Amino acid sequence: MKYFTKEWYKTCQNSGWHLNMSVSKNAEEFNEEYYKDLYTRRRRAFVKEEKEVAEVLGEEFSKAKAEVEFMNRHEDMVKRMEENIPQNILAEVADTRVLALDIATKEVRQKLKAWCEGNMKEMHRVTDLYWKQICPELKDAVGEEIQKNFNFHDAVIKSMEMKTDSLAFRMEHSDVKKVIFKNYKILEQDGYLLGATWLYQEVYAVEGGNEYHGLLWKDGGKLAYLTIQAEDIEFVK
């Protein structure tokens, strides 16, 4: 990938931390009792919402399972914040657990907002560059139909069939049910990709065909690259 890289995707993921963040003076100092009370209130609201959804869908509801789900989501949020938010901002946070429950001081929220908006600006810059400049420039060389159909955002790779002269992926949640690369060569593949969700793609004209790039999301939140050079490609709908 030249534009929609793993680094770019992480920048996208770090563009909205501030959106649901409320300001409170209670976040200025570490206070275990305040955290426990806040956690309990947030959990209660989550459980209520999950119960209402289950009732609308006619599904069985378990309060215990909902509470465990909330706990897991909260712990994951704390971990992701500690891994992604810049240290100069985290250094001003008294309790990351409180931040993960969307409560911050005024100063921390302002800094988060500035950082996230910078990430959002970079996200749009790269997106606009590729779709508005690079794609039109490559349309004739790559092929307009290929640009239109080589688009699997949020599709899932369900199976893979590898032959001497062709490589086929069966896709789920996509208008294209099967994509076949003919006279292909795998240039890059980050491990096992069955079950991976396709995020973004790029395609470039090269000598003897096209070069197809994909950014995928694997179980456990790992990002993966897939790059294939092929003389021809077939889309089965």
Select from 16, 15, 24, 19 the least CA-distant residue to 93. 24
- Confidence band, pLDDT 50/70/90 cuts, at residue 68: very high
Residue spans of the domains in the chain: they are: 6-121, 144-236
Cα 91 from Cα 102, distance rounded (Å): 17
C-alpha dihedral (62, 67, 73, 77), degrees to nearest 10 = 160
Select from 100, 118, 107 the least CA-distant residue to 38. 100
- Confidence band, pLDDT 50/70/90 cuts, at residue 133: very high
**Over the stretch 163-196, which tens digit does the pLDDT of each residue have?**
999 999 999 999 999 999 999 999 999 999 999 9
Degrees, nearest 5: CA angle 228-231-237 = 75
Task: Reply yes or no on whether the pLDDT at 94 is more than 90.
Answer: yes
Cα 236 from Cα 171, distance rounded (Å): 10
Quote the mean pLDDT of the chain. Answer: 96
List the beta bridge partners of residue 204. Answer: 211
pLDDT given at position 119:
97
pLDDT given at position 69:
97
Query: Phi-psi category of 215—alpha, beta or left, where left has phi over 0 and alpha has psi -120 to 50?
Result: beta
Asked if 228 contacts 18 with a C-beta cutoff of 8 angstroms, the reply is no
Cα 82 from Cα 219, distance rounded (Å): 21
Taking residues 144-152, what's their average pLDDT?
A: 94
Q: Torsions phi, psi of 199, nearest 5?
A: -100, -65
Return the SS3 of 183: strand
Cα 219 from Cα 213, distance rounded (Å): 20
pLDDT given at position 204:
96
pLDDT given at position 134:
94
The residues near 79 (Cβ < 8 Å, ≥ 6 apart) are none
pTM for this entry: 0.86
**Over the stretch 30-60, which tens digit does the pLDDT of each residue have?**
999 999 999 999 999 999 999 999 999 999 9
Task: Reply yes or no on whether the pLDDT at 112 is more than 90.
Answer: yes
What tokens were used for 146? 């290929």
Task: Reply yes or no on whether the pLDDT at 200 is more than 90.
Answer: yes
pLDDT given at position 97:
98
pLDDT given at position 220:
82
Task: Reply yes or no on whether the pLDDT at 221 is more than 90.
Answer: no
pLDDT given at position 41:
97
